[in-house]
Amino acid sequence: MKPARAKLDELYSKGLLDKTKFFDEHLELQFYELWHHEGRRARMGAMMMAPDYAWWHGFYEVKSRFNEFNEEADHLLKSGKKAYVYPDYPNATGSTQKPVEVFHTK
């Protein structure tokens, strides 16, 4: 996790990723999946002594996602190009307000 976080921070500091919204760029999604999706399965699989979840559904996928993350991050750092921003990506605003369309609140 620490090497991925350091690389993400480097991309932010060089302006290659935009900090105004989270989840609007592919690497931000990759980082989230690395820690909260595959990483959580690996940690919980190890804690619950579930080798299938610790390895195949956990650490194997962590390593695979980490490699993809690094390849894309290194490409951005080498080329100096800014990451592609998904236009109108849902839930990339950081707002914690309940959507009126769903909860019918004012």
The domain in which residue 65 lies consists of: 2-103
Segment 15-23 mean pLDDT: 87
Query: Would you state the pLDDT for residue 22?
Result: 80
Cβ(69)–Cβ(2) below 8 Å: no
Domain tally for the chain?
1
pLDDT of residue 83: 93
- Does position 50 have pLDDT exceeding 80, yes or no? yes
User: 2 is written with which tokens?
Assistant: 């620490």
Cα gap 61→38, rounded to integer Å: 6
In single-letter form, the type of residue at position 76 comes to L
pLDDT of residue 94: 60
Number of other residues whose CB lies within 10 A of the CB of residue 20: 9
